[in-house]
Amino acid sequence: MCRRCTNGCPYKPSGDLEMRMLSQLRLLNRGVLALLTALLVLVASSTPAFAAALPPPAPVSASLVSDARVEVSWPAVASASSYEVRRGTVSGGPYTVVGTVTGTSYVDETVAAETTYYYVVRSRSGKRTSGDSPEVSVRTSLAKPVNVRAAAAETSMTLRWKAVAGTARYEIVRLSNDVPVETVVGTTTSTEYVDTGLSVATRYVYWIRAIATGGAAATSDAVRVYTGPATTTTVTVSPGSVEQGQRILLIANVRYADGRIPGGEVAFMSAAGAVAFANVNGTDGTAIAMVNGTGWTPTSVYAQFQGSDWPPAGASVAGDAVPVVTQPYGSVAFNGPSWLKLGSWEEAVAAGDLTGDGLSDVVITTTEYFDDANDHSAFLFVQEADNQLVMKQQVAMSTSTGGSMYPVIGDLDGDGADELVVATGDGVDVFRRTGSGLSTAEHLSFADDLIDLRLRDLDADGRTDIVAVSDNGVLVRYGDENGSFTPAALVSPHRGFVLDVVDMTGDGRADLVVQLGQLIQISTQVKPRSFAAPAGYQAPAGHLQTVASMAVGDVTGDGRKDVVVTVSGNAPNAQVQVLTHDSAGVLGRWIRYPVYEMPDAIAIADVNNDGRDDVAITHGGWSAASVLLQRPDGWLGNEFRVSQLPSASSFTPRGLALADINNDGLKDLLMANYNYGLVVVPQRPAATSAAASPKVQVGRA
């Protein structure tokens, strides 16, 4: 019976064929039904459950960081990959997207003063975005007036400041000894006000108060200034280009109209407020402050001279000085020191090849210090395998007194072998290279007590000359055709402590450079053995400061030689100063670099193998030495300091040398330390740790 029929089927199949067809149709219907069921199961198993909604962050907070910055913050949402910050000026929106971040805070720097803002935040993950977070609001304030500057006359004060957006007017508030309460003395809609009818040589305190249309007010920082005779103030920053984190000098120069120097304090100011304060130096009229680059981002600076009541001096203000800020360049690293005490008083050090093996050897000299066995001697250290620097020979001078005992190493006779020359007695002692070491002393008289010396071909005749400076001037013994030397001749009457012989003008002739205290004297050679009168250049060292030493090299990258001196003192007076050329090639411009305390000995060489001259200095009394690398832009960069060195209260001008004393291709620091003898500080690759870099061993044979 058919399933559709309950009372019997009205249709009766007539034969077997019809019965078979009906059976097959039933089987086909069952298969289709099974297939449809399987497909439904498959689709159901591969379709994920409906994704949960992405929640917005909560709670959200908004706070005023400054009058022009709002910080919005919120807790993280677990499934969010970023957040969309939206802002409106009406509660409930509409909102505009002001930023998208992956973190949990955003600083909005596009706000206006005296405005209420409404913020919401949305979470985002892929294509999904949440709804808005609960709304938060913040009202910005009126910005306070900044860059308030004052310039005084006998009975008036001119005030200027930067305009404040949203301000309807400004009130000038004043306080003085005569009226010791804050009093509004004027109102203006401009950014300048002249306060008249004041007392002479009197201190006044001013504030500028910005008033908005709605009545909101914001008051500037106080400006404390004196009336009095007019002065002028200028400001510079040095160096003019600094790396991030580099120290910088702020230098103001203050004068009366007639050139005299007033007394008083200078406030170095930026838009953010006071940067530093310094008193005017009564000797040179400068006020100098040092700012550590790690605590202050160099920006536009002006100098406000506050004036003085006695002697009377009116306030004055300088224009803006803006340093250039660059990324740090290069690095240099050193291992810990090694040393060997030799006896007596170790005075000076030099490096050169005195054994003919192509490697740098080291000579350190001693003066007199109640040690007969070691006084007035030179000690030769030779490189050996396995980072060994070994003292091989001690040689005595021809006389036990006289001379600075400063050593130099060079090819004296043109035979291709270096000799050692030491200032001693009334001239120099020469030690020639032999198969077994250095020869005994051969004395060459200058009839003078020599302080510093150089081996140079001064007259360009192809022979080495001995050039020296004493208390009487610069003397020369010229090399002659017989391999000897002419009698000493005085070529410049200007005495000095440190000497160099180098082409300062670019004409191919060697010139004389002499340092005597703060005075640098340069005698240019106009023709062989003929020199012009010295030109003097005063280092801007400052009152009671000392120029400790001098070296010459191209530390500005312009292809010309610069004179570099160390100014020994404490910050801000601890400086490396560079006498260099201006854009027209004229010598006379000074660049001042603030450095660590009490710099003294100085040496110039390419320390980091980049083809540029760098500067190395010692710090007497501070157990330290430093290197300043020259950047590609011709400025010296950050100071790389080596600390915890053997202590000495000072180093002589020839107490520091740079040389590769372990044959690794890197310049090392060599110091003549009167307490500890020869001190060696080996350089290591900056990327290599001290533990992985072997220490140089200094010892005796």
Same domain, 515 and 652: yes
Is 393's pLDDT higher than 80?
A: yes
Question: Which residue, among 163, 57, 170, has the nearest Cα to 103 in the 3D structure?
Answer: 57
Q: How far apart are CA 470 and CA 498, in angstroms?
A: 9
Q: How far apart are CA 82 and CA 85, in angstroms?
A: 10
Q: Is 36 helix (H, G, I), strand (E, B) or coil?
A: helix
Same domain, 180 and 237: no
Q: Is residue 678 part of a domain?
A: yes
Number of domains in the chain: 4
What are 418's two structure tokens? 């270096």
Query: Are 539 and 591 contacting, i.e. CB atoms less than 8 angstroms apart?
Result: no
Q: What is the CATH number of the domain that holds 154?
A: 2.60.40.10
Q: How far apart are CA 671 and CA 495, in angstroms?
A: 26
Report which residue type is found at 574: A
What residues make up the domain containing 598?
A: 333-684
Q: Is 610 helix (H, G, I), strand (E, B) or coil?
A: coil
The pLDDT tens digits for 303-313 are 999 999 999 99
Residues forming a β-bridge with 120 = 86
Q: How far apart are CA 661 and CA 620, in angstroms?
A: 23
Q: What is the dihedral of CA 490, 495, 501, 502, to 10 degrees?
A: -120
What is the pLDDT, as a whole number, of residue 31?
55
The pLDDT tens digits for 597-643 are 999 999 999 999 999 999 999 999 999 999 999 999 999 999 999 99
Same domain, 520 and 546: yes
The pLDDT tens digits for 237-261 are 999 999 988 999 999 999 999 999 9
Same domain, 150 and 290: no
Query: Are 289 and 249 contacting, i.e. CB atoms less than 8 angstroms apart?
Result: yes
Cis omega (within 30 of 0) for bond into 594: no
Query: DSSP for 411-427?
Result: -SSSSS--EEEEEETTE
Q: Which residues contact 322 (CB under 8 A, 6 or more apart)?
A: 237, 299, 300, 301
- Out of 326, 357, 391, a domain closes at 326
User: pLDDT higher for 178 or 6?
Assistant: 178
* Residue the block writes with tokens 């070691």: 374
Q: How far apart are CA 198 and CA 309, in angstroms?
A: 13
Same domain, 219 and 295: no
Q: Is residue 419 part of a domain?
A: yes
Query: Are 368 and 345 contacting, i.e. CB atoms less than 8 angstroms apart?
Result: yes
What is the pLDDT, as a whole number, of residue 314?
98
Q: Is residue 17 part of a domain?
A: no
Same domain, 126 and 153: no
Q: What is the mean pLDDT of the chain?
A: 91
The pLDDT tens digits for 100-124 are 999 999 999 999 888 999 999 999 9
Burial of 450 (C-beta count, 10 Å sphere; 0-12/13-18/19+): buried
Query: Are 393 and 414 contacting, i.e. CB atoms less than 8 angstroms apart?
Result: no
- Out of 139, 158, 178, a domain closes at 139
Q: Is residue 692 part of a domain?
A: no
- Out of 89, 113, 139, a domain closes at 139
